[in-house]
Structure 1
Amino acid sequence: MRDPRMSVIGKGLKRRGRLVMEAVSPPRRNLDAIPGPRPDTDTDTYTAPAAPRLVDSPVFVLSSVRSGSTLLRVLLNSHSRIRAPHEMHLRTVHVSLSRDFTADAMRALQLDKDELEHALWDRVLHLELTRSGKDLIVDKTPPNTLIWPRLRRCWPNARYILLLRHPGAVVASLTSRRTDPDHDAVRAEVLEYSEKLEEARRNLGPHVITYEELTAEPEKVTRGICDHLGVPWEPGMLDYGSKDHGTFRPQLGDWSSTIKSGRIQTARTADPDVELPPRLKELAQAWGYGV
């Protein structure tokens, strides 16, 4: 007779294997995960006014993938007043106006699809902040970088930390994480993130740091972040391994042995053999990196 416990274990192992493969494989769809526009109708042209926000000034870490954002998250989450949870992927949380009359009903309430989603995103942040007992929330989901204009529209008073890393190091890290990587696709993905980071750098007035500086001088960099956020620096931020930051798992951030070690480790430098497209070289130079 088959042991039902073995069936449950088997299913769990299969699911974990699938999550790991999804995390190390290239995205199979547009990274911003925003559905395409519906056909124009009278109701679709309506733009609702912004509703009041429960969280007026959240903080967003904008970065490329493989740029040390999970390390920054756990350092910030180690502060007594800062809640920095795992990647929340708010951009993939949508509402559906499923009937012909739904949009009209929402318009009568001064709401449209975007504003309904904004209200939902805001509620998620508020709920997480309330549960934590802290008073400042940070979302560090890297693909948020790709939709920074919408974040600004949703939260006009949001604050931003721009986390940069040498594009060559990002390309190398991303390539090493994927099975049979498509090198052209990897470079294109890093370029897409880098272009959006440069847009954000020029338009948002963010507090800019680099992963290399964060790992080399963590006290100096985290002090600068605390000054930017208006909270006192706490030495315990650097001892993130002594705090509970939840499970490190695929799709919610980095889950490597490096982050699990509980110690800040020096960033790997860019591989000089990695060939960068001209535009990535240009951006690297604009960010102060020698190429």
Structure 2
Amino acid sequence: MNEKAFEAPIFVVGPLRSGTTLLRLMLDNHSDICNFGEFEYATKFARGSVFPETSEFIAKLNEDRQFCRDQFFINSDLSYCELIRSFLRQAHERSTKRFISASIHGRFDLIKQVWPNARFIFLLRDPRDVARSCIQMGWCGNVWYGSDYWKDVLDRWDGLMAQIEPSDFSVVRYEDLVRNPQSSLAGICDFIGIPYDESMLRFHETSTYQPIDVSLAEQWKTKLSKAEIGLVEGKCAGLMRKWGYEVTTDATGPGPLRRIALFCQSRTWRLKFNFKRYGLLLYVKMQLARRILPRGSSWRRTVLRQAQEVETLHLK
């Protein structure tokens, strides 16, 4: 394992549904880069900027779908930061590649507390496509709430950029990545300090993903109504202009009564979606397990494991 590379890991960050999985697979197909997947659990249990106690963290890890997938060894004698570092070290040791990388969508702004020399590739996608895609995943029922998955991350990224050197991050637009992947990937390789590898474009040969589809860029133009476009732009207009995305409406946002209606519609849609995904019985058991039963309970663990199996199948 390259110790210098371990001390400066590369994190692929950006909003959910922005193409981070596509980019992760491309990077992992490079002969010099190992990106083992989502590392969300490294930071998502923090309260504000404070990490949890190690015992609390371990209890949550044992119920986390992504951590259960990775099957890293837990050394309970380590501090929180040491434990997080041990997981990435295990991922690096499983690989023969020089650089180690992982993907985080949420609290990536806390990574510098664990790796002061961390580097970041920020993948940016049009918020109108992100919001639309979040509905398909069942996370919200309309684009007004889907926009939060973009705006909140962009706000967090702005805060992180103010704390790091320009040489420590690279911003890549999803639209450029799918339209001109060779140029975008060559730029990423320059940022990392390695030669471009043509095998990055053959990620579909080693994964379940399909080859790059240019039509995935700017789908909002044909799949969102004018009213839906206005909702996204009403929430994200300022950040859109800052990052070079054209605002096509007056971007005033909905009034108070319309917001109430959007909230009710989104909550109702999510309930229906979850009933369909998990089944009514499993969904009710999930809610009871999470809200009533203590961590470590065998029944709670069984129910959450069943839910994880459904989620894993859904995300394939």
TM-score by length of 2: 0.60
Asked whether 1:228 is paired with 2:191, we answer yes
Alignment of 1:1-291 (within 5 A): 55-89=6-40, 90-92=42-44, 95-96=54-55, 116-143=79-106, 146-148=107-109, 150-178=110-138, 181-204=141-164, 205=166, 206-243=169-206, 245=207, 260-261=209-210, 263-266=211-214, 267-269=216-218, 271-272=220-221, 273=226, 274-275=229-230, 276-291=232-247
Report the number of matched residues.
Answer: 207
CA deviation after TM superposition for structure 1 residue 173, in Å: 1.2
The letter for the 2-side match of 1:121 is I
CA distance in 2 between partners of 1:216 and 1:202 (Å): 30
In 2 relative to 1, CA 290–134 (structure 1 residues): closer, same or farther, beyond 3 Å? same
CA deviation after TM superposition for structure 1 residue 140, in Å: 1.1
Contact 1:162/1:201 (<8 A) preserved? no
CA deviation after TM superposition for structure 1 residue 277, in Å: 4.9
Deviation per residue, 1:114-149 (Å, 9 max, x gap): x81111111111111111111111111212xx341x
The letter for the 2-side match of 1:219 is Q
CA deviation after TM superposition for structure 1 residue 225, in Å: 0.5
The letter for the 2-side match of 1:127 is Q
The letter for the 2-side match of 1:285 is R
Deviation per residue, 1:259-290 (Å, 9 max, x gap): x22x0112330525322254511101111111
From the two aligned structures, give the one with the greater helix fraction: 2
Structure 1 residue runs of 5 or longer lacking an equivalent are 1-51, 99-112, 249-259
Contact 2:147/2:235 (<8 A) preserved? no
Contact 1:66/1:173 (<8 A) preserved? yes
Deviation per residue, 1:125-178 (Å, 9 max, x gap): 1111111111111111212xx341x21121111111111011111111112332
In 2 relative to 1, CA 75–236 (structure 1 residues): closer, same or farther, beyond 3 Å? same
Q: Which has the higher contact order (CA 8 A, sep 6+)?
A: 1
Contact 2:134/2:140 (<8 A) preserved? no
Q: What CA RMSD, in Å, does the superposition of the two structures yield over aligned residues?
A: 2.7
Deviation per residue, 1:165-195 (Å, 9 max, x gap): 1111111111233287155432333321221
CA distance in 2 between partners of 1:288 and 1:129 (Å): 36
The letter for the 2-side match of 1:167 is P
CA distance in 2 between partners of 1:159 and 1:237 (Å): 20
Structure 2 residue runs of 5 or longer lacking an equivalent are 46-51, 58-75, 248-316
The letter for the 2-side match of 1:91 is T
Contact 1:53/1:119 (<8 A) preserved? no
